[in-house]
């Protein structure tokens, strides 16, 4: 392979095949960097040694495929390239063949900032780049470790269908029309949730699968519509066993793939604590800068905005800001839904408090909220959720600005005790925070319907560096409890039967207690590779608009296909 030649091979006659990474013509001598997935070796084509090869050399362009035979020779001391693994040697070419040519390239492989749609249009070229080769190798290595880990622990790989029925995980379904049963549709699974529960009821006891899940939702840098999960379920679950299994799996992956030791067991934090301290359910705990609460201190405040707000919370930032800087921060806060951003700061030298609101605050308030010299307190006063959202976001923004993040650190933690339900203002009803099969916490089992907004679930997430890598829960295995949860979600009995009758029937035929978890393989690779773009750890992703610029999918189908399916298209993208 092109990455293999070393000094110990000097004198050996070898054949290398690969792509032209670069060609340099030194008047007479031609140098070609030949590349395959293992690395690069320099070929030297000398007209005296190989006249036929030298004749061909003029035609060579980047990304041609060559086969070259010759002798591995040591480079002279001045020409050794310490940056190349093969840099102590080169191949003195005797015979050269152009195996395959390339049309002019739409972009060069070493070009930075190539438009992503162009890269995806020519993904086969893009994938030749070192970074993407590395990302996909890392991913394969990780998946290999996962499979071994799960199998060693007695989990059975069971494949579940793609053409199935709605499995709600909070997104829209992708649907597939049935030709044999006109007017009916399959839904692609948003996760194999109900199916894996059925494997438990079927007695398999420990299930895993590397499963593809389909969620029709808006795309972001860290969200795709077709995601891969490690999906896990076990019967008679013990949370400690499950947590330890995950922790040891992550430790092995991080050790083997990137040579990092992860400390276990991981810290655990309730949802309530994460929200209170970090303003999010996926806290980045590589740095502090925690949210503080001034609600009590500002009751009856002379500053009306504080006095009238449900919550007054703030961040204590170790620097002072100019007016323009504060205005920029306020803009960020407003983007996330704040009405404004109040501040109190104390000049580092003069010790003077600077703040447009100070004059409205009482002595007692000022004392309780006093910033230290050189410090600024940034306040948001609003409903609790808005203060969390805005300050949680500002916290991340400021941590980058202040350089608080240790980029080499991986801080894993479990977030537990999630709420069961959330209120949908628009729909005017409760929906499941996780999915409707999630078990209420033991002490909420009999009374979740009394206070749905407070009820807690036996659910947990894995967070690292502010990324949610996965989550799971213990499940409802009692048909009557499941029906009560469906009731609360405002599903009529007829809807329950139509959508999940099979599950209710199965739960009624000897269902063991069960629970599990699912981890996002794409996102795990992204964090492992330190890669900010999820699409760069996926071989053939769609673009930000959910299209595949390479194949043109999704594309139109023929009238004949539509007729066969009994489908009429009433509006197309162009028309709407
Ligand atoms: N099905 C869930 C999800 O995809 C994970 C689980 O509850 O196991 O998020």
Written as one string, the DSSP assignment of 21-49 is EEEEEETTEEEEEEEETTEEEEEEE-TTT
Taking alpha carbons only, the member of 570, 501, 540 closest to residue 166 is: 501
Cα separation values, 193 from 36, 230, 254, 310, Å: 41, 12, 27, 38
pTM of the model: 0.93
pLDDT given at position 230 = 98
Q: Taking every pair of C-alpha atoms in the chain, what is the biggest distance, in angstroms?
A: 93
* Tokens standing for residue 506: 């199965």
**Nearest Cα residue to atom 4 of ligand 1:** 191
Task: Name the phi and psi angles at 295, rounded to 5.
Answer: -60, -50
Strand pairing class (89-100; 39-45): parallel
CA of 518 to the centre of ligand 1 (A): 5
Q: Provide the mean pLDDT of the chain.
A: 95
Residues 213 and 191: beta-carbon distance below 8 Å: yes
d(CA 391, CA 389): 6
pLDDT given at position 95 = 98
Taking alpha carbons only, the member of 295, 282, 290 closest to residue 394 is: 290
pLDDT given at position 464 = 97
d(CA 338, CA 384): 11
pLDDT given at position 277 = 98
Distance of CA 167 to the CA centre of its chain: 21
CA of 425 to the centre of ligand 1 (A): 24
d(CA 356, CA 105): 59
The number of the ligand 1 atom at minimal distance from the alpha carbon of 459 is: 7
d(CA 378, CA 330): 9
d(CA 227, CA 231): 12
Q: Which residues line ligand 1 (CB under 6 A)?
A: 169, 191, 193, 435, 471-473, 516-518
CA of 437 to the centre of ligand 1 (A): 10
Residues 421 and 453: beta-carbon distance below 8 Å: yes
The number of the ligand 1 atom at minimal distance from the alpha carbon of 470 is: 9
Find out whether the peptide bond into 182 is cis, omega within 30 degrees of 0.
no
**Beta carbons within 8 Å of 512's beta carbon, 6+ residues apart:** 200, 201, 235, 236, 477
**Beta carbons within 8 Å of 239's beta carbon, 6+ residues apart:** 460, 474, 515
CA of 434 to the centre of ligand 1 (A): 8
d(CA 477, CA 510): 9
* DSSP classification of residue 235: E
CA of 432 to the centre of ligand 1 (A): 12
Strand pairing class (206-214; 156-157): parallel
Q: Whose structure tokens read 């310490």? A: 82
Task: Name the phi and psi angles at 413, rounded to 5.
Answer: -155, 160
pLDDT given at position 284 = 98
- Helices 130-152 and 521-529 pack at an angle, to 10 degrees, of 120
pLDDT given at position 576 = 60
Mutate to test the pocket of ligand 1, among 420, 516, 522 (most ligand atoms within 8 A of CB): 516
**Nearest Cα residue to atom 8 of ligand 1:** 517
The number of the ligand 1 atom at minimal distance from the alpha carbon of 229 is: 4
The number of the ligand 1 atom at minimal distance from the alpha carbon of 517 is: 8
Helix H, strand E, coil C: the string for 333-359 is HHHCCCCCCEEEEECCCCCCEECCCHH
**Residue numbers in the chain where pLDDT is lower than 50:** none
Residues 561 and 177: beta-carbon distance below 8 Å: no
């Amino acid at each position: 392979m092109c990455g293999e030649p070393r000094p110990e091979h000097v004198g050996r006659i070898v054949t290398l095949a690969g792509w032209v990474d670069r060609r340099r013509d030194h008047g007479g001598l031609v140098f070609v960097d030949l590349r395959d997935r293992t690395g690069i070796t320099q070929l030297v084509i000398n007209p005296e040694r190989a006249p036929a090869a030298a004749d061909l050399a003029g035609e060579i362009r980047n990304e041609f495929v060559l086969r070259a035979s010759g002798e591995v020779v040591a480079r002279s001391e001045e020409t050794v390239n310490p940056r190349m693994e093969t840099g102590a040697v080169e191949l003195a070419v005797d015979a050269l063949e152009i195996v395959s040519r390339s049309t002019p390239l739409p972009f060069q492989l070493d070009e930075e900032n190539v438009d992503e749609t162009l890269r995806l249009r020519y993904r086969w070229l893009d994938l030749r780049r070192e970074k993407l080769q590395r990302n996909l190798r890392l991913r394969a290595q990780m998946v290999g470790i996962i499979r071994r880990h799960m199998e060693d622990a007695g989990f059975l790989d069971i494949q579940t269908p793609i053409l199935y029925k709605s499995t709600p995980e909070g997104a829209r379904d992708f649907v597939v029309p049935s030709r044999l049963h006109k007017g009916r549709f399959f839904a692609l699974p948003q996760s194999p949730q109900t199916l894996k529960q059925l494997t438990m009821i079927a007695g398999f006891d420990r299930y895993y699968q590397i499963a593809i899940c389909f969620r029709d939702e808006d795309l972001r840098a860290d969200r795709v519509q077709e995601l891969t999960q490690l999906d896990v379920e076990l019967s008679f679950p013990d949370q400690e066993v499950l947590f330890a299994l995950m922790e040891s799996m992550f430790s092995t992956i991080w050790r083997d793939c990137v040579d990092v030791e992860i400390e276990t067991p991981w810290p655990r934090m309730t949802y309530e604590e994460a929200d209170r301290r970090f303003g999010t359910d996926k806290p980045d705990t590589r740095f502090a800068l925690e949210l503080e609460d001034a609600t009590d201190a500002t009751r009856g405040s002379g500053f009306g905005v504080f006095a009238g707000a449900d919550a007054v919370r703030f961040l204590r930032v170790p620097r002072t800001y100019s007016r323009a800087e504060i205005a920029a921060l306020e803009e960020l806060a407003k983007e996330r839904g704040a009405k404004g951003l109040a501040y109190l700061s104390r000049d580092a030298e003069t010790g003077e408090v600077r703040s447009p609101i100070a004059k409205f605050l009482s002595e007692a308030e000022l004392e309780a909220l006093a910033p230290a010299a050189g410090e600024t307190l940034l306040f948001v006063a609003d409903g609790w959720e808005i203060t969390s959202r805005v300050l949680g976001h500002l916290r991340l923004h400021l941590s980058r600005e202040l350089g608080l993040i240790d980029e080499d650190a991986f801080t894993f933690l479990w977030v537990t005790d999630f709420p069961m339900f959330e209120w949908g203002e628009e729909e005017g009803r409760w929906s499941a925070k996780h999915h409707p099969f999630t078990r209420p916490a033991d002490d909420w089992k009999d009374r979740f319907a009394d206070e749905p907004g407070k009820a807690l679930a036996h659910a947990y997430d894995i967070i690292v560096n502010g990324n949610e890598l996965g989550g799971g829960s213990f499940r409802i295995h009692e048909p009557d409890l499941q029906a009560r949860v469906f009731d609360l979600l405002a599903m009529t009995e007829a809807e329950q039967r139509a959508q999940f009758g099979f599950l209710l029937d199965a739960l009624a035929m000897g269902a063991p207690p069960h629970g599990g978890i699912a981890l996002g393989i794409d996102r795990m690779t992204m964090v492992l590779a330190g890669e900010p773009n999820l699409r760069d750890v996926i071989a053939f992703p769609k673009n930000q608009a959910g299209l595949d610029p390479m194949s043109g999918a999704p594309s139109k189908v023929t009238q004949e296909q539509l007729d066969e399916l009994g489908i009429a298209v009433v509006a197309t993208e162009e028309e709407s």
